């Protein structure tokens, strides 16, 4: 579901026999007003709401507050609070796209959501961070050959650069520039940079060649014999490197696979573990908030401080001064 897909039919129904060419371009821009993953999620959420309304003989568009409130109340039995909020966002976007006022902010809906939050709680259940020792063990547990070369490059770059999984799989060969000080990665677009202003991230050489992200990335590129296109790609069981880039889900699978081989609980780790692991490990090592934020790209100090607190639980703990 996108604004363009909903706006188009309504404009024609109003008798717009002559549509200026620029309107099609406007619709195309509207389609790109939100991140692709967000739009994909909204589509799925909107389909779910429409299906629920259909099964109860209710109208999804426009949806009265009572319908929306009843829907999210039923969702509370199977979804987390964050997912319910996204369903509401999708419903609001669908109404906005057709020129209707969204009733998702009506008192009944807001109070129902508030009750759900109080009942279910909103505490996040983040994945465990991969700390430096974990990364070393995961690198040692990687396969031999091309798959192992790619997996080592993936987790080391993700950890050293504190990248989101979408950022990792979005990298192309031209985004990587090797120099005497290390690797400069140009991040052309990210979750917090939807306008594509871009930023550069420095990856310095590591002291251990076996876990140096710069050397390992260079080795992967050479072994895979790729000179353009996606940096991280799928590989067949016959060790053929494909042209298609990996997905964010693939990053999570690699992390879980190597975590299990390293003796860790794979259910506790995912793609975000690399990014969280960088921030936590850097905090344990005494890195400043500013240096961590420069690498992660966080705009909020509060977000980074969550990792810093985790990394300082035992390093700066008053209980250790009690003489017990």
Catalytic site residues? 164, 191, 272, 275, 298, 307
Q: How far apart are the first and last CA of the chain?
A: 60
The shares of helix, strand and coil residues in the chain, as percent rounded to the nearest 5, are: 55, 10, 35
Look up residue 45 and give its two tokens: 């959420």
Instruction: Map tokens 């120099």 to a residue.
Output: 179
DSSP labels, 136-191:
HHHHHTSPSHHHHHHHHHHHHHHHHHT--HHHHHT-BGGGEEEETTEEEEEE--BT
168/188 Cα distance (integer angstroms): 11
Whether 171 and 241 have beta carbons less than 8 Å apart is answered as: no
172/158 Cα distance (integer angstroms): 14
Q: What is the SS3 assignment for 41?
A: helix
Dihedral-angle region of residue 184 (phi above 0 means left; psi in -120 to 50 means alpha; beta otherwise): beta
- Short-list 104, 77, 78, CA closest to 91: 104
277/297 Cα distance (integer angstroms): 15
- Bridge pairing between strands 199-204 and 233-235: unpaired
Q: What is the SS3 assignment for 236?
A: coil
The gap from C-alpha 254 to its chain's centroid, in whole angstroms, comes to: 15
187/238 Cα distance (integer angstroms): 31
Look up residue 103 and give its two tokens: 């009733």
Q: State the CB neighbour count (10 A cutoff) for residue 186.
A: 14
């Amino acid at each position: 579901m996108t604004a363009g897909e909903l706006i188009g039919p309504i404009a024609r129904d109003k008798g717009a026999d002559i549509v200026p060419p620029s309107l099609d371009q406007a619709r195309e821009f509207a389609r790109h007003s939100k991140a692709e993953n967000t739009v994909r999620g909204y589509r799925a959420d909107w389909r779910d709401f429409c299906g629920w309304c259909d099964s109860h003989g209710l109208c999804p568009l426009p949806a009265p507050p009572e319908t929306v409130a009843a829907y999210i109340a039923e969702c509370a039995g199977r979804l987390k609070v964050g997912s319910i909020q996204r369903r509401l966002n999708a419903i609001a976007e669908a109404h906005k796209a057709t020129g209707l006022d969204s009733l998702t902010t009506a008192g009944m809906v807001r109070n129902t959501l508030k009750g759900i939050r109080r009942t279910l709680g909103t505490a996040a259940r983040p994945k465990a961070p991969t700390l430096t020792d974990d990364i070393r063990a995961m690198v040692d547990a990687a396969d031999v050959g091309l798959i192992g070369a790619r997996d080592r490059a993936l987790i080391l770059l993700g950890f050293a650069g504190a990248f989101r999984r979408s950022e990792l799989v979005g990298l192309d060969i031209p985004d990587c520039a090797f120099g005497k000080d290390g690797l400069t990665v140009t991040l052309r677009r990210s979750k917090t940079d939807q306008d594509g202003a871009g930023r550069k991230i420095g990856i310095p050489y590591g002291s251990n060649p076996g876990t140096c992200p710069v050397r390992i990335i260079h080795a992967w590129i050479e072994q895979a014999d790729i000179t353009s296109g996606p940096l991280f790609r799928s590989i067949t069981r016959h060790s053929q490197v494909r042209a298609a880039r990996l997905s964010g889900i693939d990053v999570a699978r690699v992390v879980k696979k190597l975590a299990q081989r390293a003796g860790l609980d794979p259910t506790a780790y995912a793609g975000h573990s690399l990014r969280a692991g960088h921030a936590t490990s850097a905090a344990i090592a005494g890195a400043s908030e500013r240096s961590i934020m420069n690498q992660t790209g966080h705009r909020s100090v509060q977000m980074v401080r969550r990792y810093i607190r985790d990394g300082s639980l035992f390093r700066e703990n008053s209980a250790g001064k009690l003489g017990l």
